């Protein structure tokens, strides 16, 4: 299975991992966007409203 790029929609940090194993990473998908745990902790779920 190929690795895909996950990039935080807020800070831009990225990593490569398996799409089906995103739960193993410190990234979360919210409203079809990826956020790293650092940004989620810093700005909370308001991240999804800051387009």
Beta carbons of 37 and 44 less than 8 angstroms apart = no
At a CB cut-off of 8 Å and minimum separation 6, what does 39 contact? Answer: 8, 10, 11, 47
Counting residues of the chain whose pLDDT is more than 90, the rounded percentage is 37
Higher pLDDT, 50 or 41: 41
How many helices (H) and strands (E) the chain has is answered by 1, 4
Q: Provide mean pLDDT across the span 12-18.
A: 92
pTM: 0.67
**CA–CA distance, 20 with 41 (Å, rounded to integer):** 23
Q: What is the pLDDT of residue 12?
A: 95
Beta carbons of 9 and 43 less than 8 angstroms apart = no
Per-residue pLDDT band for 47 (boundaries 50, 70, 90) equals: very low
Q: Provide mean pLDDT across the span 22-37.
A: 86
């Amino acid at each position: 299975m190929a690795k895909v790029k996950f990039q935080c929609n807020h800070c831009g940090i990225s990593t490569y991992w398996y799409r089906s194993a995103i739960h193993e990473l410190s990234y979360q998908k919210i409203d079809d966007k990826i956020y790293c745990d650092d940004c989620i902790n810093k700005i909370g779920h308001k991240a999804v409203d800051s387009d």
